A and B are shown apart, each in its own frame.
Chain A
């Protein structure tokens, strides 16, 4: 059974139960099913065919989720792009996917940062989405009385893939627009006084809540069934502090990714608060670590390939095994510990940004002579992107000039937080940017 089968089932059995809420709207399972079937018919009239793509912007709304489900209802491929995607990029993806016939069973095409300066389209099957949801249902306490709060952007798997287990358990998805208005986040708990809550929060959000809203978190502690984190490293001290504020909640740190789904999870209520630990393998997944320390993943949650890029697919997916860029090891208890990445991606609050993609855009500025994007420490996000750039002789510009230019050409999370004008960029002996030098 896939997500729509479950929604149909609950629409028949408990039509008045709340399926999705936002600060301004709500919808029951009965209404949700009606919306999905109606939207499915509208999309068909608009020419959305089975195995073809429907490109649309992700928004924190009920309409986005009903459209996403309606695309699957039509056996078409959902291509949700970040809301801030520049129109030029949106049009390019629409053009590239137009009338392309995807392999049967393809459900989603999600774009993620590539290591070659170009975003990669990750193709995911119905089976991958369903088995990933089953991994969550097996290991995390999703129940029918749960309200799962989604605060991150719905095109990102850390948010998008939480819709499935919540609705497959008959629970309620609560979508809010980020944690900017932290008071709106805590209002959700007051709105449903008799419900239990689950949520996914990136480590940066946990740090922010602990630093600025600790008292409010204490007030709602007994209502929280579980919190899952992941997508970026969480510190031992934040794990311990969260556990002390929420002694009765279950707390998980998971390993996941667009290409792999969610594959292992660490219940850090064990009192050890092991930083870098992502726990044991989940129900449908299998993990091995090769002699070089690279984490290899197999199982039905894996993607089926990169869109129109068989070479890149073959470089990471061979004989049903995905070769990650993560290095790690197993401890005696079978827990996996991460040791870092072997590529240059910079993790910004759970989003992995490719420095080459950003540098390529910076280099189109006429006054920039050279540049490099590096990872820098950030007190809330853990790490952020720092751009070092050289200006051509006789030219001047401000950090703001560069930032505004990038804003018009890149998604928001790829815009560097820190800028520095430098006299030179350190190169290797063969003239490449010396990324290792800047990692030290």
Chain B
């Protein structure tokens, strides 16, 4: 799943370094919205502004965990 998410997000946000541990700092509001939309559509999970925390957007692993936790609910 990690590679799938990486490919999905790198394609829509080519400027963002998804190997970074400071992903939240790298993104702007449109980038955040793009990630929420892409993951929500791809995995059919509800994602909203309350999910946008520095912890959930720390790095790619944190995003994978967020998706997994939403899918398991």
Could you list which residues of chain A lie within 8 angstroms of chain B, going by C-beta atoms? Answer: 178-183, 204-205, 208-209, 211-213, 215-216, 349, 379-381, 398-400, 402-404, 407, 412, 415, 417, 419
Contacts and interface: CB of A to CB of B under 8 A. Distances in A.
A324 to B, nearest CB: 27
Interface residues of B, number: 22
Given A205-B29, A379-B37, A400 B15 contact: yes
B27 interface: yes
B42 to A, nearest CB: 14
Nearest to B54: A181
Contacts of A216: 49-50
A412 B16 CA distance: 12
Interface of B: 10-12, 14-15, 24, 27-34, 36-37, 47-50, 52-53
A381 B30 CA distance: 8
Contacts, number: 60
Rank and list the top 8 A-B pairs by shortest CB-CB distance, nearest first: A213-B49, A182-B49, A403-B14, A179-B29, A212-B49, A180-B29, A399-B14, A400-B14
A3 to B, nearest CB: 28
A182 B30 contact: no
Contacts of B24: 180
Given A183-B50, A213-B48, A213-B49, A403 B15 contact: yes
12 contacts: A180-B28, A180-B32, A183-B49, A204-B30, A208-B29, A212-B48, A379-B37, A380-B37, A381-B30, A399-B11, A400-B14, A407-B15
Contacts of B30: 204, 208, 349, 380-381, 417
Contacts of B14: 398-400, 402-403, 419
B38 to A, nearest CB: 10
A370 B39 CA distance: 34
A209 B52 CA distance: 12
Contacts of A180: 24, 27-29, 31-32, 52
B64 to A, nearest CB: 20
Contacts of A379: 37
Contacts of A407: 15
Contacts of B47: 212
B33 A212 contact: yes
